[in-house]
Amino acid sequence: MAYSLCTYPDVSLKEARRRRGAALALVANNIDPRSHRRAERQKASHAVNNTFKAVSHRWHEF
What are the domain boundaries of the chain?
11-61
Q: Residue 11 — pLDDT band, cuts 50, 70, 90? A: confident
Residue 3 is classified by DSSP as: -
pLDDT at residue 1, as a whole number: 59
pLDDT at residue 50, as a whole number: 85
Q: Is the pLDDT at 49 greater than 90, yes or no?
A: no
Instruction: Give the integer Cα–Cα distance in Å for 31 and 26.
Output: 5
What is the Cα gyration radius of the chain?
Answer: 17
CB contact set of 54 (below 8 Å; sequence gap of 6+): 48
Instruction: Give the integer Cα–Cα distance in Å for 45 and 52.
Output: 14
Angle at 22 between CA 18 and CA 24, to 5 degrees: 115
Average pLDDT along the chain: 88
